[in-house]
Structure 1
Amino acid sequence: MRKHKFDTLQLAHRGKTVCAYCGKRTFVNYLYSDGTPVADGECGKCDRADKCGVHVPPREYFKNHQPLTSLYSPRMGKPQRQQPKPPSYINAKDMLNTLQRYERNPFVRFLHSFFDEVTGSEIVDMMVERYAVGTSTKWGGATVYWQIDQYGRIRTGKVMGYNATNGKRIHTQNNYVHSILSERYPNFNLEQCYFGSHLIVEAEHHADLNNAERRRLNIDGEFHPPIWLFESEKAAVIVAIALMWGGAPFTFIPMATSGCGNLNPTFDAKRNPNHKIQVLKNRRVMLFPDAGKFDEWKAQGEKLKGFCQEVYISTVMERGLHPHKVDCDINDGDGFDDCILQYVADGKEIWDLISACYGYQGQWKIV
């Protein structure tokens, strides 16, 4: 009979296996007393101390996967990974029906009133289309930010009201498509994704073309666009407009977490193939915290160690940390898009602001 008490578990120092967290054969399993792994590649320690270094002891593993009281049952077999419930999806027709009536959409109207004379209306229209910004029938034409994952599946749509004059949110106007259409989508299992996740495919297609040309010209190295991760959908769209205006539309991929608390790389999130964080796996990521949220985002970013290829954090909204001059007012809660809007309103050149927004000079590389 197999024993299951914690004092029978030991760390195996031979026969390393593939690490479920970084994909390298550097993982040392914890073993039962009969020599079988507790959870192959998941319960143990990765020897890549500088790149991964994850350590999941049995107590932590069982805490996340099985009630502690069941560990002492002699009939219990090896713990089985619980498969996450598959997410529900929105019908494409419901999204397509919203991609119109932009004359009623306060956010799109604001974008045109602000950028048309500077960038041209074509760039605004292009970014609204690229990000699949829709118009709801709620609140006289509220904005719909569709959450489309990297495989083109529609997770939901976030419906938000805006003031068309100043572009500010109306906080009392906030809902989700699956909730508004609950009769059409009963028992909806919501698994959100980052706003703009679907753009990775298009950006990588352009990168592949550019890298093929680099190889043809015998130029060393390949380039894959990093993800620029913002808190608000509004910020992602405005930064995308600025990048297109500056002639660098696929150099970076602006995306949004749809809220500060949605950047939460937990143990279970990294293992769930349907979780929104999967789009960041093995990629270079740049975090853009709003003013006053730097420490909070930095702490969350450090949890991406071994999951992302590299993670940086921008200091642009922190005057005490940013090495470059940001020539505009910054208040708590402002995002990088607010800086761009102030620069445009004052007739200042925004490309220097964008090119210097990293600001880390090597010291703000988290992992």
Structure 2
Amino acid sequence: MTFLNQQKWSISLDTRRGDHTPKKVIYPNCGKKKLVRYFNFETNEYLQDDEGRCDRQEKCGYHKKPSFTNKDVTTVPKRLSVKEEFDVLDSQLLYQQKGENQFANSILAKFGTEAYWHVHSLYYLNAYNFQFDHAMQDAVVFWQIDKQNRIRTAKLMRYDQQLKRVKSGYSTDWLHSILKKEGKLNPNFRLKQCFFGEHLLNQYLDKTIAIVESAKTALLGELWKPEYLWLSAEGLNGLTLEKAEALIGRKVILIPDFSDDSRKLWKEKAMDIQLKFQVDIQLSTIGEAIKDGSDLADLILNDKKVINSIKKRFGNDLLLHPKNIVGLYRPLFESGNPYSFMDIKNTVSGCNTGGYPMLDKVIISLIEWGSKQIINNNKIIF
């Protein structure tokens, strides 16, 4: 399958500065000479008088885009300053999770243990550790962690054994909303979302970024083509200029869901992002001929060759299955006693682990799959 196309454009808003003063015209709606016109940098000509964007965005809001063709884009890089007026969640929430959930089990069953550990180590495939019966007990947590490793929020979603999203009943929620309902978070919490997977941007500076609509698709994309860095916009309308500032200086491809509306919207978003930031951003041609609203995840899950290639690449050592790790090491701990993270590390590393799984995977499994609960100061009860 063709992964991305070479579609570029040569037309942009005339925002040049220095010796050049952009030629603005009066827009009848507001009567102000504030309409920044679109300019063709190949022909050195302005487009139609009404094709442009009014500088008075908050009061006027007029923006008429021209019909772009397959030409090179010429833009002037412009970094916008964004006030960070938002709140973040406690970083300890990452450790107050459990690994047992249907989504993780399905990844394990379909692709094998090494594939599971690969995406788990990157994106944290946890479930929220509710201290009481809750309808979202089996939901996977898709963390939104920004480039500074701050937790903005997390999306909780329930999936079935076929990795299909459960759409009936109470099947989707947000962690900040749950914490507010539980009285554990300021009711005036100020949310500012980021990309799912954004925390990986500073770790993989040389990778081309692939952005899809859903977190599940990003995870499956990571298994399919790990040479790319996979992010999720968390929805069709989640690709925003506010989030896109994190992409400055990077090469990006967009893979929206397979429908004309999705491709049209993300094509417009790509142009807006390119006009605002120094981003080499393109729209992929994958799924271009498909119009049924499916996505890349469906292509991967329905292609046996792709699934087998993933299994072959990552392997399937059953000894590394989290439940097996728990079974091997759990007898080292007395049931009902609290243990800190350091206690667990010292106990496990003090054993003869020849032929056993790596220490980091052991600790993760014991914490997420083997503990009853996590209490204050990071103590774990087995």
Instruction: Work out whether the TM-score is over 0.5.
Output: yes
For 2:273, what is the secondary structure of its paired residue?
coil
Question: How far apart, in 2, do the equivalents of 1:349 and 1:156 lie?
Answer: 34
1:146 alignment counterpart = 143
Counterpart contact for 1:134–1:144, Cα < 8 Å = yes
Counterpart contact for 1:228–1:287, Cα < 8 Å = yes
Q: 1:140 to 1:294 in 2, by over 3 A?
A: same
Q: 1:181 to 1:29 in 2, by over 3 A?
A: same
Q: 1:43 to 1:97 in 2, by over 3 A?
A: farther
For 1:305, what is the secondary structure of its paired residue?
helix
Candidates 206, 217, 225, aligned match of 1:235: 217
Q: Deviations over 1:267-304 (max 9, x none)?
A: xxxxxxxx322112232110001111222221222212
State the TM-score, normalizing by the size of structure 2. Answer: 0.58
Question: How far apart, in 2, do the equivalents of 1:240 and 1:82 lie?
Answer: 31
State yes or no: 1:278 paired with 2:238.
Answer: no
Counterpart contact for 2:148–2:199, Cα < 8 Å = yes
Counterpart contact for 1:26–1:47, Cα < 8 Å = no
Higher relative contact order (CA 8 A, sep 6+): 2
2:295 alignment counterpart = 335
Instruction: For structure 2, list consecutive stretches of 5 or more residues without a partner in the other structure.
Output: 1-13, 25-33, 62-79, 312-382
Q: What stretches of structure 1 move > 4 A for 4+ residues in a row?
A: 21-27, 42-50, 53-58, 61-64, 81-85, 345-351
Counterpart contact for 1:26–1:48, Cα < 8 Å = no
2:286 alignment counterpart = 316
Candidates 194, 215, 226, aligned match of 2:208: 226
Q: Deviations over 1:57-80 (max 9, x none)?
A: 44346547xxxxxxxxxxxxxxxx
State yes or no: 1:175 paired with 2:151.
Answer: no
Counterpart contact for 1:30–1:58, Cα < 8 Å = no
1:16-27 → structure 2 map (5 Å cutoff)? none
Q: 1:225 to 1:193 in 2, by over 3 A?
A: same
Q: 1:238 to 1:179 in 2, by over 3 A?
A: same
Question: How far apart, in 1, do the equivalents of 2:143 and 2:249 lie?
Answer: 25
Q: 1:309 to 1:278 in 2, by over 3 A?
A: closer
For 2:149, what is the secondary structure of its paired residue?
coil
Q: 1:57 to 1:49 in 2, by over 3 A?
A: farther
Shift of the alpha carbon at 1:141?
Answer: 2.4
Shift of the alpha carbon at 1:317?
Answer: 1.2
2:158 alignment counterpart = 161
Question: How far apart, in 2, do the equivalents of 1:129 and 1:59 lie?
Answer: 46
2:92 alignment counterpart = 93
Q: 1:132 to 1:261 in 2, by over 3 A?
A: same
For 1:299, what is the secondary structure of its paired residue?
helix
State yes or no: 1:297 paired with 2:250.
Answer: no
Letter in 1 for 2:151: I
Q: 1:331 to 1:113 in 2, by over 3 A?
A: farther
For 2:230, what is the secondary structure of its paired residue?
strand
Report the count of equivalent residues.
253
Counterpart contact for 2:224–2:306, Cα < 8 Å = no
2:124 alignment counterpart = 132
State the TM-score, normalizing by the size of structure 1. Answer: 0.60
Letter in 1 for 2:237: G
- Percent pairwise identity: 25
Q: Deviations over 1:93-140 (max 9, x none)?
A: 112212xx32x2111111011001xxxx12311211211232123423
1:4 alignment counterpart = none
Letter in 1 for 2:264: D
For 2:297, what is the secondary structure of its paired residue?
helix
Letter in 1 for 2:86: P
2:109 alignment counterpart = 113
Instruction: For structure 1, list consecutive stretches of 5 or more residues without a partner in the other structure.
Output: 1-20, 32-41, 65-80, 205-223, 244-248, 266-274, 320-329, 352-367
Counterpart contact for 1:134–1:146, Cα < 8 Å = no
